[in-house]
Structure 1
């Protein structure tokens, strides 16, 4: 998209310096700060933080799912599992399924925000 228009803002010099410091700490431009703020979008650095969080969460669930598979292999190999242990395991799996559903709802909301 070609940029054809220029908007000039007049603000106090101290305010400009404050905005520059803010942008420097977040590694974004003043233009990005203004446009994203006005349009109600996530700032570029916030978007990066959110994506890293999503990736970390997804990796955590992959580890949990791997552990579930390992327990299932052990149970299948032994052909016997204590009823108490099976109940605990089932509760944990149900809890994980619920957490995964909640995570997916949150991710859907985040993705819709990122799409703005």
Structure 2
């Protein structure tokens, strides 16, 4: 057998029934396996549910930034063509810029957590 083809090992340990129920509840809430909870906790790695949240956030961010980019282009086209922007369009544009600020703040908080996890 090649070193790259090592088999998984099984570990048995004792745990109180109440504690096991608590851990199972945590797993259920996080939608992860008990094995994943234990291994990732012991190895101090990011949990699968946290990984999913990061990926969902990045996807949401991409979609919103795409919409904002379209709005910026529309505002620029109107401003260049008409030399005038309606108050409604300007307000909408300002709202989108506010969304960017909120998303950037969220993104920075998530990245800070990721970096903290990776540095352990």
The TM-score with structure 2 as length reference comes to 0.64
Q: Of 53, 58, 65, which aligns to 2:69?
A: 65
Classify 1:108/1:21 alpha carbon distance in 2 versus 1 (closer, same or farther; 3 Å): closer
CA offset digits 1:47-105 (Å, max 9, x no partner): 11121111112211111111110011112212x248xx9xx8xxx6xx78x95877776
Partner in structure 1 of residue 55 of structure 2? 51
Separation of aligned partners in 2, 1:47 and 1:68:
31
CA offset digits 1:15-46 (Å, max 9, x no partner): 11111121122221111000111111111112
Q: Superposed, which structure 2 residues align to 1:23-102 within 5 Å?
A: 23-78=27-82, 80-81=83-84, 99=101
Q: Does the 8 Å CA contact 1:54/1:107 hold for their aligned counterparts? A: no
Q: Which runs of 5+ in 1 are unaligned?
A: none
Q: Which runs of 5+ in 2 are unaligned?
A: none
Q: Give the CA RMSD over aligned residues.
A: 3.2
The TM-score with structure 1 as length reference comes to 0.66
